[in-house]
Amino acid sequence: MHRTEGANNISNLFTDGPPATTVNDDWLNAIQEEIAYVIEQAGLTLKTKDTETLHQLKEALDAIIALLVDQDVSSNASPTHESVIFTPMTTVERNALPATNGRVICNTDVDQFQGYVNGVWVNLNGAFG
């Protein structure tokens, strides 16, 4: 990504003039591709002008953040935390997760902590709720 280089910019920032900064196709295409890349990396399909595109970037960022938080919690990467918060989700959401031994969730459908072990989800003998 790069800052605007359009005519009449001041230190690569837009101005309202007069004369205003020229918005050029190189800059707009760079912005478009940066945003599209984030959406695609989150596993989402770019929408067309005929579909609802509002909030697609936010949905992508939410998905990426959720994945990072899930990885951090499941790997117990930060030893400075006094507790671990397991991701609350329904059985349907749980079943959509990648099969990863050691994953632990809070299943809100059955009010149970569950872990993925040797290809199956098992209750961890602790109810919540």
CA distances for 58 relative to 16, 27, 53, 72, angstroms: 28, 22, 11, 21
pTM across the whole model: 0.49
Q: Enter the DSSP assignment of 125.
A: E
pLDDT of amino acid 119 = 86
pLDDT tens-place string over residues 34-92: 999 998 888 888 888 777 777 888 888 888 887 776 655 455 555 555 667 788 999 99
* CA pair distance 34, 40, nearest whole angstrom: 10
Strand order in the sheet with 120-127: 87-89, 104-107, 112-117, 120-127
Share of the chain above pLDDT 70, in %: 85
